Amino acid sequence: MKPLVMYHYPKCGTCRKAKKYLEEKGIDTAERHIVEEPPTKDELKALVDKSGLPIKKFFNTSGKKYRELNLKEKLPKMNEEEMLDLLSSDGMLIKRPIVTDGEKVTVGFNEKTFDQTWAE
C-alpha cells in the first residue's frame, strides 16, 4: 500500500480523530497542513475526480469562512472551475481531513468509511 497523504488542520478535532485512527491501524501517513500548504487547484481537481464525490462535498460547510462568504447561496450558481479556484484560495474552506493514496480519496472522517477504504 502506498503511503497516505492526509491534508489536515492540527487544531481540528475531526482531523485528530482520523490521525489517531490511522496510527492505531499502523498506517503510515504523510501530513500536509491544509492552511499553510493548501492543495493546488490541479491537486483538488484530481482529488475530486478520484473521490467520485460531487465537488460540493469538499467544502467545509460548518466553517466560519463558508458562512462569511455566504457560500450556501453562491455555490449553486458557480461552476466547477470557480469552485476549484475558491477552494484552492483558502485551506479553511476545504472539508478536512482529506486522505488519499493517489487513487482513493476520503473526505472528512467516518470510521466505517476508513475501515472500508484504508484498513484493508
What digits encode the pLDDT tens for the residues 15-41?
999 999 999 999 999 999 999 999 999
Tell me the whole-structure pTM to 2 decimals.
0.94
Cβ neighbours around 65 below 10 Å, total: 14
Tell whether the model's pLDDT for residue 75 goes beyond 70: yes
pLDDT category of residue 119 using cuts at 50, 70 and 90: confident
Domain with residues 4-102, CATH architecture: 3-Layer(aba) Sandwich (3.40)
The fraction of the chain above a pLDDT of 90, given in percent, is 96
Rounded to an integer, what distance in angstroms lies between the CA atom of residue 97 and that of residue 32?
Answer: 10
Nearest to residue 58, comparing CAs of 119, 70, 46?
Answer: 46
pLDDT in the model for residue 1: 62
